[in-house]
Structure 1
């Protein structure tokens, strides 16, 4: 099945990892892509050497000079066709995402659907890149603001959403008139190669200048090239807070723009007035979906003391029913972690929690035996903890859920906000006052705040991003398109005089 999938997506056993569209090359070291599903070698990619990177950037500069002159609706039509191409390849690309990354097959299909949805959003957006008009204080003058393409957008994406986050950035950037250079995670390189092939076919049909879609596969050094390059006015980076701080510092040092989507330490407050069926379902999916490897994964449950034991019992029962195994088998709820390093981090977090006094009500551990040969399958676990534990303040990219107790809604919100990260948050309540307080200025300090749904599953229509150590960036929907453009204020004098602003007189 995987062999047919790779053939459909034009992926060879050894692929070059740098591309300007039609042209493929790569003179760097070879990296292998091993599936966490079964430990098998999927393929290899030759990474981008510095000479490859330079070739991609120069081609992007040349392409931008032409691409920015295309009318935005015409650029949108190209993106519409990319959406159609993704629809045709949804099954194959979804399977590759599942197999190379390890998420469930349904989540793999869902990720490709997000790509299709953002294409649809971007097509409509291509006719709505609006500015403002305003009245001038000077007679016979008109003022307005407009937005122009920014230039080259560098995109650094993470392994957990190997294609969707790239598309959130790229489709918007393209309709805005920018060109893009993508540095995907070296843990999921084949997903990026597949996307580049899909886009290249559409671009060739539409005579899009080569270089509008650039690809540079590599390690941390490749990301540093993007971050430090003054030719790239915007770098969008998704990943850990540690990585984001390095990118932000490098881009800031040259006064460029950084769009940062970093770590999350997301919590659900479960009120005594909650619908407990919804609360438990939202909590379980939020905690174990993608094996806890989402930036929006639920990592903390803040539960009212009057229902704490009841929720704990229901969660324990629900976790006992989880099926862990091959994510391409749709009967399984939980797949593997991305690699052995992630497993080590998971085990270290469990030991840290126990050392701080945490009590596990659902024990963790690594699964062994038939079907678990890759060594990347772990048990989702639940620990009773306290907000002040250092491990609770930390984001562990694995299915570990911490239970915390509260007595008043003010206390619950304080616990929710009392971590360095600020991405996603939720409250489960049927109490209107609690819901409104949670959404108020004195409520959740996160970029995403939900009522009666979990912390994961953001829709592309809303701007996605968070505050504090999550980075402050916004991408995908709403008016996130503005970050990919430069803003310009224009004043036109259509009179026969030259009155100066603020009534200043300058007689000659």
Structure 2
């Protein structure tokens, strides 16, 4: 096998290629522990917010299709740099290379979506009860939008928010995860170049690397009407409380605990492929990762035998190497959290297959056959652990699927039309995403992405998620010479 360069050194070389060099001294790469380039924390967050507010004052008056043209140009620039940026994502997060490149493709896709959206920010015309009156609804730019992103998708989730916010007329302020600031630095440098070429206002997008304190400043600042935060439930609670205290808006994308129901009629060939990616893809570090497998007792043994063979054959190692499907966890804390969860599973009577710590941040994905639902199964451990539960009737399966605090993604594998439709009904899955005959991961940008309960209730990306980044105004126009009042109220002077 060809010897690969140290991950930190390769990251530095990629930054040189991308025109935004940085010195070493940052966090260790999850791949091999070598030092990543150092992205310094923002020196003055208050000044960055002020620059974003000044840029918004100008940008909101630019016609939306012109704003869309900037986002289109940015998407073109991302397309030109897709491979080096994707490789940088893989190095910094430990994702397999195809997933790193796929994340950059997701940014390109949302830029295309947002460009089209810039000509479709539709309002409504509403019938007025008053003669010679028009009533309509208009959407206006909201203001500077703070985006707090997580390590597992270090750039795509920022793009979901930023591309839409920019065409809506907002400026953006980005606090990347302190675990993955390098790719954010590269992407933001690219955006700054495109914005300057397009003549956009200076400060239209601000990058403010930092830790919890930086996020707290953004959440508390009244100049920021919307804070979009992706991360853990405790982090989301803190952000929501700070933003609500000043009566601002928050858009939250928090924890997940996705379940897949496998019915007696399921295609087991399809099931093995869907489950393997859903549970082990990105080394279990997606908010949509399949963490619970609820299998009918009649097919459970056969499916588990096939899953164990599939898990044993998963290539695990340096994600830059060809054919690797499972890379490292993000850091040693994640490795420890996985080990602790598996110890608890065994203590609760579970049978664990896999889950070994191999070396460094590398682990083998685990299957944990559990005797029933428990506090452990209701919790989200951000690692490749799939808890397997058995069910005997469909109502029991739905009850198990719903019996967790989180509500992001879910799926069912079945060839029974009645079961599929019942799963999608109001009494079926209680998640923001519900899939049939596929896994729980891999959402397309065209649909609104988000979940219910402790997932936070936010919606990002497609559909009408753009409305979160604008303010709604009901407008009434009297084009007559009298002044009739609504509800027949009379007031003559």
Q: TM tier, shorter chain?
A: over 0.9
Q: Check if 1:297 corresponds to 2:289.
A: yes
Give 1:388's aligned residue.
373
TM-score, normalised on structure 2? 0.97
Partner residue of 1:11?
A: 20
Give the direction of change, closer, same or farther, for the CA distance of 1:466–1:503 in structure 2 (3 Å limit): same
Match of 1:33 among 22, 27, 37: 27
Q: 2:7 aligns to what?
A: none
SS of the aligned residue for 2:37 comes to strand
Is the CA contact 1:33–1:190 (under 8 Å) kept in the aligned structure 2? Answer: no
Name 1:26's counterpart in structure 2: none
CA deviation after TM superposition for structure 1 residue 3, in Å: 4.2
On the 8 A contact 1:118/1:168 being kept in 2, the answer is yes
**Counterparts of 1:81-480 in structure 2 under 5 Å?**
81-360=73-352, 362-368=353-359, 375-480=360-465
Q: In structure 2, what is the Cα distance between the partners aligned to 1:227 and 1:203?
A: 26
Are the counterparts in 2 of residues 424 and 447 from structure 1 also a CA contact under 8 Å? yes
Cα distance in structure 1, aligned partners of 2:375 and 2:477: 58
- SS of the residue 1:208 aligns to: coil
Query: In structure 1, how many angstroms separate the alpha carbons of the residues matched to 2:60 and 2:429?
Result: 40
CA distance, structure 2, for counterparts of residue 293 and residue 319 of structure 1: 17
Q: Is the 2:12–2:22 contact (alpha carbons within 8 Å) kept by the matching residues of 1? A: no
Counterpart in 2 of 1:18?
A: none
- Could you tell me how far 1:363 is from its partner in structure 2? 2.6
Are the aligned partners of 1:238 and 1:260 in contact in 2 as well (CA < 8 Å)? yes
- TM-superposed CA distance for 1:46, in Å, is 1.4
* Aligned-partner SS, 1:155: strand
Q: Give the number of aligned pairs.
A: 484
SS of 1:75 mapped into structure 2 = helix
Shift of residue 10, structure 1, vs aligned partner: 2.6
The answer for the alignment partner of 2:5 in structure 1 is: none
- For the Cα contact (< 8 Å) 1:33–1:100, is it kept in 2? no
Distance 1:239 1:103 in 2: 18
Verify the 8 A CA contact 2:154 2:177 in the aligned structure 1: yes
- The Cα offsets for residues 430-488 of structure 1, whole Å up to 9 and x where unpaired, read as 10000000000000000000000100000000000000000000000000000000000
Residues 12, 37 of structure 2: 8 Å contact kept: no
Residues 207-233 of structure 1 show CA distances to partners (whole Å, capped at 9, x for unaligned) of 100111011000001000011111100
> Structure 1 stretch 54-63 or stretch 439-448: which is displaced more?
54-63
C-alpha displacement of 1:304: 0.4
Is it true that 1:499 corresponds to 2:491 in the alignment? Answer: no
Counterpart contact for 1:34–1:42, Cα < 8 Å: yes
Note the alpha carbon deviations across 1:149-175, whole angstroms, 9 max, x for none: 000100000000000000000000000
**Aligned mates of 2:12, 2:56 — CA distance in 1:** 37
Q: Find the residue that maps to 1:392 and give its secondary structure.
A: helix
| Structure 1 position 354, deviation (Å) | 1.2
Q: Cα deviation per residue 1:82-116 (whole Å; 9 max; x = unaligned)?
A: 00000001001000000001000000000000000
Contact 2:407 2:454 survives alignment (8 Å): yes
User: Cα RMSD over matched residues?
Assistant: 1.0
Verify the 8 A CA contact 1:387 1:415 in the aligned structure 2: no
CA distance in structure 1 between the aligned counterparts of 2:372 and 2:346, rounded to whole angstroms: 14
For residues 303 and 425 of structure 2, the distance between their equivalents in structure 1, rounded to whole angstroms, comes to 26
Partner secondary structure for residue 377 of structure 2: coil
Q: Which deviates further from its counterpart, 95-104 or 4-13? A: 4-13
> Take 1:454 and 1:224, find their aligned partners in 2: how far apart are those partners?
35
